[in-house]
Amino acid sequence: MKIVITGVTRGLGRALAEEFIRLGHTVIGCGRSGTEIFDLRMTYAAPHDFSTVDVGLDSKVALWAARVLEVGSPPDLLINNAGLMNRRAPLWEVDDREFTKVADVNLRGVANVIRHFVPAMVAAKKGVIVNLSSGWGRSVAPEVAPYCATKYAIEGLTKALAAELPAGMAAVPLNPGVIDTDMLRQAWADGAASYPKAADWARGAAPFILALGPKDNGQSLSVPGAED
């Protein structure tokens, strides 16, 4: 299976990419850290491929997608994983620059990737799009309003996309659960240590994601065992 995934340089994206590779799938990934992308390239040779891309920049995503699609078939599985967490603060203390940065990656970034990869999938009338949501896309918490807003938006965007896809395809907003990552530590500091590590999580999450199909189109799902 050919899998395209964003945000592969750390956290859930890195763990998923490495688990998919271990399971024998081809992974095409992107992330913003050039150092980590170089490490992935050196560790996992072709047919895997990793590129430095800021998904919040439509022009960069367009170039990346064109390069990926010109050398092979459309992805069987497209995972929008890249995301940012805002600094914890009441909404009125979050300045426009920080709010925009979170929205650019968490929401506009997903739209950018869909815009440039999904037409080829639609033309082939097959493939699954998984957009990483959150427990905070279905509930709320104080001091993370920008993040909650983007994840609630992912739920709506994905369900609308699901209604637009041809039969045989699927779009799924997926809550991964609470996992010990840098992003969670930014929100909860040392409290994150009590949750599963990303690599352990990926061993269960990857098979679940690989099994998603047309029957799941438009359904708000959670990785089994996920804690909101």
Which sequence positions are flagged as catalytic? 147
The one-letter code for the residue type at 75 is P
Distance of CA 160 to the CA centre of its chain: 17
Task: Please report which residue ranges of the chain form alpha helices under DSSP H.
Answer: 11-22, 34-43, 58-70, 96-103, 109-124, 145-164, 182-188, 198-210
Q: How many of the other CB atoms lie within 10 Å of CB of 20?
A: 23
**Rounded Cα gap, residues 91 and 181, in angstroms:** 23
**Rounded Cα gap, residues 205 and 214, in angstroms:** 18
**Rounded Cα gap, residues 101 and 146, in angstroms:** 10
Phi-psi region of 189 (alpha: psi -120 to 50; beta: other; left: phi over 0): left
117, 27, 3: which is closest to 63 by C-alpha?
117
